[in-house]
Amino acid sequence: MKRFSEVLEMDIKQIDWNLAWQTAQRQRHLNRKAKGAVYWNRRARDFSDHQAHKSDYPHQFIRILNPEPGWRVLDVGCGSGTIAIPLANRVASITAMDFSESMLSILRQECAAKKIGNVKPLLAAWEDDWESLGIGVHDVVIASRSVNVEDLKSAVIKLNRFARQRVYVSAVVGDGPAVRRIINAAGRDYQPSPDYICILNLLYQMGIYANLSFTFHPLNRTYADYEDALNKSQWMLDDMTPHEEERLRNFFQDHLVRQNGSWVLPDVPPVRWAVIWWNVPDEDPSIT
């Protein structure tokens, strides 16, 4: 009978998950524009409108988080407050960090409009020296859909250093909200992002036995018309050429169906986000 490692044709403990993640991130940035602050500044308004009004992701994430009233939370890559805004009245305070000034500006407006006083926006990046920015240790650190780093292992160590109790990160599962069919219809190859399994396996190799839950979102992509469908697909296809736009317009004309007064792309698979959380180890973990 064959051994486990022979069936796999490798020893899974030898897989360098940090390198796998790093390679995929680099490849992704070569194929698409690097997702720097300029990119997120440009997307801030649309992203924020979608999260605030059309997604129940925040609700599902907070249910998994199960917050305690005394928590001081650090929200890394907070965006316009997808989690921070609905979480604010459930915890003591939130340091909401992001490198996009436009995201933080929407967050400030939302806090003012909702009279939220315990969220402190902070312009900073993953790559910054958080200690010198005066970011202290918080009870809980979250990074919701924002682990946009090349060195995943260093990021985990950093998250552990700034969390007293627990860390929560969420990451894409499979294709995530991107629709492969739409990307292919424009004539482009689909470049998958590294998904949550890299994080989970790296944590395992670091001796961190993380918990895993999934949010679930049956996707119903509805559009007012073909142009609306084109506009709402732009984020999947940076810098579309006129030729690609034409291909996509034709695709929507052929595939959208009328449903309850809107246009719908049928058979879009549901989206899941993986929420991975762990208790902070007493000492910095190291790869075995």
Ligand X SMILES: C[S@@+](CC[C@H](N)C(=O)[O-])C[C@H]1O[C@@H](n2cnc3c(N)ncnc32)[C@H](O)[C@@H]1O
Interacting span for ligand X (CB under 6 A) from 18-26, 145-153, 193-201, 229-237: 145-153
- Nearer to ligand X by Cβ, of 81 and 285: the residue is 81
Closest approach, Cβ 56 to ligand X, in A, equals 12
In the sheet with 257-259, reading across from the earlier edge strand, the strands are 222-223, 262-264, 257-259
> Helix 17-31 to helix 196-205 angle, to the nearest 10 degrees?
150
Closest approach, Cβ 233 to ligand X, in A, equals 17
Closest approach, Cβ 32 to ligand X, in A, equals 14
* DSSP states along 112-160: HHTT--SEEEEE--TTS-TTTTT---EEEEEEES----S-HHHHHHHHH
Interaction pattern, residues 52-81, with ligand X; x per rule: CB under 6 A? -------------------------xxx--
φ, ψ of residue 116 to 5 degrees: the values are -95, 125
Q: How far apart are CA 93 and CA 137, in angstroms?
A: 13
Q: Is 229 exposed, middle or buried (0-12, 13-18, 19+ CB in 10 A)?
A: buried
Q: How far apart are CA 33 and CA 145, in angstroms?
A: 18
Q: Taking a C-beta distance cutoff of 8 angstroms, is the pair 144, 84 a contact?
A: no
Q: Contacting ligand X (CB under 6 A), which of 17, 21, 40, 162?
A: 40
Interacting span for ligand X (CB under 6 A) from 108-116, 141-149, 215-223, 274-282: 141-149
Interaction pattern, residues 147-186, with ligand X; x per rule: CB under 6 A? -x--------------------------------------
Q: How far apart are CA 236 and CA 259, in angstroms?
A: 24
Total residues contacting ligand X by CB under 6 A comes to 18
Task: Extract the tokens encoding 236.
Answer: 């999947």
- Nearer to ligand X by Cβ, of 92 and 124: the residue is 124
Interaction pattern, residues 94-133, with ligand X; x per rule: CB under 6 A? ----xxx--x---------------------xxx------
Closest approach, Cβ 226 to ligand X, in A, equals 26
- Nearer to ligand X by Cβ, of 51 and 60: the residue is 51
- The b/e string for 64-100 (b: 16+ C-beta within 10 A; e otherwise) is bbebeeebbbbbbbbbbbbbbbebbeebebbbbbbbb
- Nearer to ligand X by Cβ, of 55 and 279: the residue is 55
* Chain residue whose CB lies nearest ligand X: 79
Q: Is 21 in the site for ligand X (CB under 6 A)?
A: no
Q: In the window 206-265, what residues touch ligand X (CB under 6 A)? A: none
Task: Extract the tokens encoding 35.
Answer: 């997702």
Residues near ligand X, by CB under 6 A: 40, 51, 77-79, 82-83, 98-100, 103, 125-127, 144-146, 148
